[in-house]
A and B are shown apart, each in its own frame.
Chain A
Amino acid sequence: MNAKYMNPYLAGFLLGLVLLLTIYITGRGLGASGALKSVVAATVSATAPEHAAQSEFYRDFSSTHGGGPLKQWLVFEVIGVLIGGFLSGVVSRRLTWTTEKGPRVTNALRIGMALLGGALFGAGAQFARGCTSGAALSGMAVLSAGGIITMMAIFGTGYAVAYFFRKLWI
């Protein structure tokens, strides 16, 4: 049987400490979507170098990310998240190979929706310069107006559209 999840307030406190430590040591916050961007940039410049050289998007990326697309802080951090998540899953016996979904949803629909949701998140994070971790959470910690506005937009829209997609989850 799976171990119980941690008390959410304790988990939040610990997450806050990890974030605080990150800011204290490195002067920057945690993130996730930036690593996706690195992987995309690395793939495109490896498979279609001419295209990457012409594209405004990838030129902008490489001008602000020196040292190669994969030798980036967020890439290493996200590898850490993978390791940390895995270790936690081992310790709490939660390793699995399943598709988690609402009670009225088929596996195929769930995977399709996860792909679509991920794509929206990937694109939205480009506009907002960060996702829930990089913009909303880390932004809140340093009182960033942009981060807090993004956070309100994420959760506000979530609540606004939740009703229309309720069959996915309840």
Chain B
Amino acid sequence: MGPFVPDLVSNELNLIVALLLGIGFGIVLEQAGFSSSRRLAGVFYGYDFTVLRVFFTAGVTAMIGVLLLGAFGLLDLEAIYVNPLFLGPAIVGGAIMGVGFILGGYCPGTSIAAAAIGKKDGIAFVIGGLLGVYVFGELFPLFDTFYISGDGGPLKISEALGMSHGFFALVMTLVAVIAFIATTRIEKKVNPSSPAFSFPVKRHMFAGAAALLLAALLVFLPNRKEALLAETADPAYQRSHPVKLMTPDELAFRILDNDPGLVIVDVRGTEEFQKMTLPGAVNIPVQSLFGREWSSLLGVRHRQRVFIDNDGTMARNAGLLAARLGYTNVSMLEGGLNGLRSTILDFRTPAEPPPRALEATYRFRARASAMLPKMIEESKNKPATLETKAKKIAGGC
């Protein structure tokens, strides 16, 4: 599952990947005519809408592609870089760039493509860009508070608008197709030698319809996360896919034994976890199992992972989900913490002598009921300090 940086593609190799992708980017920019400032500026004067056509088609293509890869579980949408929102700076910065676009006739990417084929105005634009960054850096103390204002984090527009990703993609595709039709009409009126006159209309209609169809499909494709959560919570699925059970006795024995091969995962909410949990337990609520930061902990070989909760319901969901996510050696605490409490913690040696077969068990439970509560108390003061370094992907300009 993508992305492959930094697990499969090292950070060093990633630089070579950057060079190759950049070559592809440069070829397409130049072939699209983005190395020509007059063509670029044309979008603002109605004589050439190339920018709008290329830009929107690219954006919609990549957006639909990202969502499709995500829906089929080929790309981890939680792990990719989403540009953070700083509302005021985004608007002000965009406005400054808008004026820069009209005056300069390029944006940074296109000016580099223009400079590459020897456009002097493209080279001037690149030099101007360097100066602009430098001036911004020198004046930075003047607006350093504004710079971080309106912090909305890596917010997705679909979440901000309260719609599904797929629905937003459909809206965006529809807007793009309508914009293509409308601007082609404008361009034909404004510019008698418009390139739009030579477009094969039928083929373009097919392509537009295909894009809309794909986007419409996205609306109905469940997102992988929700689909997996629903699948593993389904009673029929749970009956046909039993999770290996660990008895309270075995778990208690392994804890008292300081078994290094044991990973206890508490899947309850953080509040409950903080109130009481087992020694060494890590708190991963069911929804968070998807996070990549847990892949090293949950993926280590030759360790027994045991999921715990209060009564075993959530732990079963978590166990099945973990198995579907590809983690092995998964089990759950039989009867949950409630079961552990009644069999071990609240164990009282019965008055009458136990049956022969249970003598050893009773002896162990008596010992465990004395030691385990102490260990639980001690572990409260020192929360598990497991390495949970999230593999952050850097990005942005």
Contact = CB atoms under 8 A, between A and B. Distances in A.
A87 B105 CA distance: 22
Nearest to B80: A27
A32 B393 contact: no
A129 B140 CA distance: 14
Contacts of B31: 5-6, 11, 14, 88, 92
Contacts of B66: 20, 23, 141-142
Contacts of A15: 25, 28-29, 32, 54, 57-58, 61
Contact of A124 (B4, B58, B94, B113): B94
B120 A24 contact: no
A115 B133 CA distance: 12
A170 B397 contact: no
Nearest to B125: A118
A contact face: mostly helix, strand, loop, or mixed: helix
Nearest to A73: B18
Nearest to B155: A145
A114 B105 contact: yes
Nearest to A87: B27
Interface in A24-68: 24-34, 36-37, 39-40, 44, 55-58, 64, 67
B189 to A, nearest CB: 14
A129 B89 contact: yes
A84 B24 contact: yes
Interface string B126-159: 1111111111111011001001000010111111
Given A73-B18, A81-B25, A86-B117, A127 B147 contact: yes
Interface stretch (B37-45, B246-254, B255-263, B278-286): B37-45
Contacts of B117: 85-86, 88-89, 94-96
B135 A119 contact: yes
Given A40-B130, A141-B62, A118 B124 contact: yes
Given A127-B89, A144-B157, A13 B61 contact: yes
B25 A84 contact: yes
B121 to A, nearest CB: 4
A89 B116 contact: yes
Contacts of A5: 31-33, 39, 50, 195
Contacts of A146: 83-87, 90, 152, 155
Contacts of B53: 8-9, 12
Nearest to A17: B61
Given A15-B32, A32-B397, A144-B155, A117 B120 contact: no
A81 B32 CA distance: 13
B350 to A, nearest CB: 59
B65 interface: yes
Contact of A168 (B92, B102, B107, B172): B102
Contact of B55 (A12, A30, A85, A98): A12
Interface of A: 5-9, 11-34, 36-37, 39-40, 44, 55-58, 64, 67, 71, 73-74, 76-89, 92, 94-102, 110-111, 113-162, 165-166, 168-170
Interface of B: 2-5, 9, 11, 14-33, 35-39, 41-45, 47, 49-50, 53-63, 65-66, 69, 74-75, 79-87, 89-122, 124-138, 140-141, 144, 147, 152, 154-160, 165, 168-169, 172, 180, 195, 199, 204, 207, 393-397
